[in-house]
Copies of this chain bind each other. A is one copy, B any other.
């Protein structure tokens, strides 16, 4: 590894560099390398075995507070999750279900009794759990879950039921085979009154793995990927659990059935509940981005070896990376990977401060949730696109499982769906922007939301003080005068991204106001839906660019920083190129400048070409974890 590459990697590793370095060591072990093509049963058994090996590394402890037997290092839990994605995504996801979702629900929604009873055993895998939220009928709109938990004061039990076919718990990782207990989300009913969705600990299986009375689990069967995760379905038929199995941090039911909660509003309570589980979203985005880095590392290294076509008669064949079109396929995706890595580190840092009580700003939690939603969408879409491009860029070799890319594609494919559908999440970001974190709106149906937003949007205070200051700092720092429209200057770049966001949010607000005045509010919402989603994306894109710019300062070496500066330019140019029509149509860019953007991308690719390997090294996937035969079979694919 080159020193320059090392400097880049150190910067991308961010605040949890040490954790990442530890992971690099133990994940290189053979036990974490899954062979492709295992059948479902073998894959599941193997993933479970890998989890047991993880227990010994101390990784699971990071996710839990000290008083519960953990280390209380929330950021390390996420950084470790990202690193697992370098090795095997089935392991990543199954570990995430056990320690992140199930464990997270117990720690964050439960109280001391639950902590004492469950957390140590679940860390050590003496207790295997699952997270039963999604139902066949409701995934995105989880407030409408149909499973019921009806309190029976006579026995002081909750009775869990699946009253309709669509109330079946579905896609639940661990439910098919391994989980003996589930964190079940269900509508809590006491004395005929519903109090909204709450979470309950429900035993599923006996010691022999058989369904307990009233519980019917089944297997989701073969999936597009993640074969090591045993996704299943659960139906409940009058399953009785003790009153104490309600995870009662935010609400409780007394022996006589009296319901109480420190948060009076059902909806607010529900979103508070969800908010404590934000780490899942943060982790999934980071894991997808890590998968993309692996695929891009493999494809880029292949493009540096694989030769095809001679530039001129009797000359040696070019390597693929010498072709402009190939550079254009890989380098902008590598640039985006850097941008997202810095943005993810920033997000994890924020999350860590909040979850360890070091940041108690009441708006902080809500801002974190918005940012986590947006970055989850951005990172998982990036992964889908980048891994697909990497596969195609490696041709037939890319299609062989021994070269890992197809497995990465198959395994990450569902990341755009789980922990929140990307479109729904991006819309959520926009809604938060447009209504300035107003509590009321979270469970509003489209029509109600548009009515509210119309009154609200006028006064939205956007979080712009930060970006304005950053632009000024960048201007001040620049040696030369920053000319209007010179896209090579950071201040101009950031201004452009901020202006786009401003414009989109402002005009979306306008449309909502106009829409609310006319006819059917759902139609008004629907007609503006693409606009609203674009506003959400623009916001996230601006945050990502800020993180990239901030990240440049973390690079402790001039040469490495210079390369990264060029890469940041490529990120900006290729993002602008992708949205060029919008910038021209809204007069943010002249046609001449827009044409220059295409040329700029080409020139930046050419400039970065000599540093391709360094950039790959900087992404931080160690060679020992690339495990692609086409890179390691000495001379089959390589000719001088």
Which residues of A does B touch, CB under 8 Å? 36-37, 39-40, 134, 136-141, 144, 164-166, 168, 170-171, 220-225, 307-313, 315, 317, 322-325, 328, 384, 388, 391-392, 395-402, 405-407, 409-410, 413-414, 416-418, 421-423, 445-448, 521-522, 526-527, 529-530, 533, 580-581, 584-585, 587, 591, 594-595, 598, 602, 635-639
Closest CB in chain B relative to A611 CB, distance in Å: 18
| CB pairs A–B below 8 angstroms (12 shown) | A140-B308, A165-B636, A223-B406, A224-B401, A224-B406, A224-B407, A311-B445, A312-B448, A325-B423, A328-B530, A398-B417, A409-B413
State which of B222, B521, B580, B638 has its C-beta within 8 Å of the C-beta of A37: B222
- Pair B400/A324 contact, Cβ less than 8 Å: no
Closest CB in chain B relative to A606 CB, distance in Å: 8
- Pair B309/A221 contact, Cβ less than 8 Å: no
- Pair B396/A166 contact, Cβ less than 8 Å: no
- Pair B585/A399 contact, Cβ less than 8 Å: no
Closest to A40 in B: B37
Cβ–Cβ < 8 Å partners of A221 in chain B: 36-37, 400-402
- Pair A522/B584 contact, Cβ less than 8 Å: no
- Pair A134/B396 contact, Cβ less than 8 Å: yes
Cβ–Cβ < 8 Å partners of A522 in chain B: 311-312
Cβ–Cβ < 8 Å partners of A391 in chain B: 224, 413
State which of B140, B388, B418, B529 has its C-beta within 8 Å of the C-beta of A325: B529
Closest CB in chain B relative to A305 CB, distance in Å: 11
Q: Could you tell me the distance between the alpha carbons of A594 and B414 in the complex, rounded to whole angstroms?
A: 34
- Pair B166/A635 contact, Cβ less than 8 Å: yes
Q: A139-B308, A445-B311 are in contact. Are A324 and B392 (CB under 8 A)?
A: no
- Pair A224/B445 contact, Cβ less than 8 Å: no
Cβ–Cβ < 8 Å partners of A409 in chain B: 224, 413
Closest to A633 in B: B165
Q: Could you tell me the distance between the alpha carbons of A74 and B637 in the complex, rounded to whole angstroms?
A: 37
State which of B141, B307, B447, B580 has its C-beta within 8 Å of the C-beta of A581: B580
Closest CB in chain B relative to A400 CB, distance in Å: 6
Q: A36-B221, A323-B526, A409-B413 are in contact. List 19 more A-B contacts (CB 8 A).
A: A36-B222, A37-B39, A136-B397, A138-B308, A139-B396, A141-B308, A221-B400, A222-B401, A224-B400, A309-B446, A311-B445, A312-B448, A313-B445, A384-B388, A392-B417, A392-B422, A396-B417, A396-B418, A399-B413
Instruction: State how many copies of this chain the complex holds.
Output: 2
Closest to A585 in B: B591
Most buried by B among A166, A392, A595, A635: A392
- Pair A139/B395 contact, Cβ less than 8 Å: yes
Closest CB in chain B relative to A74 CB, distance in Å: 27
Cβ–Cβ < 8 Å partners of A324 in chain B: 526-527, 529-530
Cβ–Cβ < 8 Å partners of A527 in chain B: 324, 602
Cβ–Cβ < 8 Å partners of A165 in chain B: 635-636
Closest to A322 in B: B526
Closest to A533 in B: B325
Q: A406-B413, A530-B325 are in contact. Are A400 and B220 (CB under 8 A)?
A: yes
Q: Could you tell me the distance between the alpha carbons of A268 and B313 in the complex, rounded to whole angstroms?
A: 17
Q: Could you tell me the distance between the alpha carbons of A598 and B414 in the complex, rounded to whole angstroms?
A: 29
- Pair A310/B445 contact, Cβ less than 8 Å: yes
Q: Could you tell me the distance between the alpha carbons of A134 and B397 in the complex, rounded to whole angstroms?
A: 11
Cβ–Cβ < 8 Å partners of A602 in chain B: 527, 530
Closest to A401 in B: B222
- Pair A637/B400 contact, Cβ less than 8 Å: no
Q: Could you tell me the distance between the alpha carbons of A581 and B589 in the complex, rounded to whole angstroms?
A: 11
Closest CB in chain B relative to A60 CB, distance in Å: 26
Cβ–Cβ < 8 Å partners of A134 in chain B: 396
Cβ–Cβ < 8 Å partners of A595 in chain B: 585
Closest to A594 in B: B585
Q: Could you tell me the distance between the alpha carbons of A325 and B527 in the complex, rounded to whole angstroms?
A: 9
Closest to A170 in B: B396
- Pair A447/B222 contact, Cβ less than 8 Å: no
Cβ–Cβ < 8 Å partners of A533 in chain B: 325
- Pair B223/A136 contact, Cβ less than 8 Å: no
Cβ–Cβ < 8 Å partners of A410 in chain B: 224, 406, 410
Closest CB in chain B relative to A42 CB, distance in Å: 10
